[in-house]
Structure 1
Amino acid sequence: MRDKRKKFIDLAEARVNRAIKDIRLIGNLANKNSYEYSEDDARKIVRALQKEVDSAKARFLGDSGGKDTDFRLED
């Protein structure tokens, strides 16, 4: 049982830190001096991120969560 706990801690720390870093990089896209985007683009990005956080939260609370889909600004 202790091995499962250690594996969980190791993976959780690595994955959460990687996710935080990537979210910060996504935040850098908000720089209007470097990028051009619409309010709709920004809403889509925030909505997609929130949806995945909500899905992860649901899985920790025992729900099955949603299906995996790739994010696209334009279809």
Structure 2
Amino acid sequence: MAKSNQNIKRNRFTNVAGRRVQKVLDTLDSLAKCANKNNYDYDDEDVTKMLKALKEKVKSIELVYTTNSKSTKNTFKF
């Protein structure tokens, strides 16, 4: 019985995490469209701030998975 419970949890994880990762990837693709200088005005400082925020969040997620600590919610502003 314990094994089937593990299978249920595993299946639930792969389904939910798979959808959520795809959603993040799609959102990042959307963000990449903002790089079009014909439509948007930004400078190197803006890009640096965005990339720093994204990298910090990825590090935070890595920490959650490797140490089982709780994730903190970040907000981004220029």
Q: What percent of counterpart residues are identical? A: 27
The equivalent residue for 1:61 is: 66
The equivalent residue for 1:12 is: 17
User: Does the 8 Å contact 1:56/1:65 carry over to 2?
Assistant: no
- What's the Cα RMSD here? 1.4
Provide Cα deviations, 1:8-43, integer angstroms capped at 9, x if missing partner.
000111000000000111111111111001111111
Equivalent residues in 2 for 1:23-62, closer than 5 Å:
23-62=28-67
How many pairs were matched up?
73
Point out where structure 1 has 5 or more consecutive residues left out of the alignment: none
Q: For residue 29 of structure 1, give the secondary structure of its aligned residue in structure 2.
A: helix
- Larger CA Rg, structure 1 vs 2: 2
Deviation at 1:3, TM superposition (A): 1.1
- 4+ aligned runs moved over 2 Å, structure 1: 63-67
User: Does the 8 Å contact 1:48/1:71 carry over to 2?
Assistant: yes
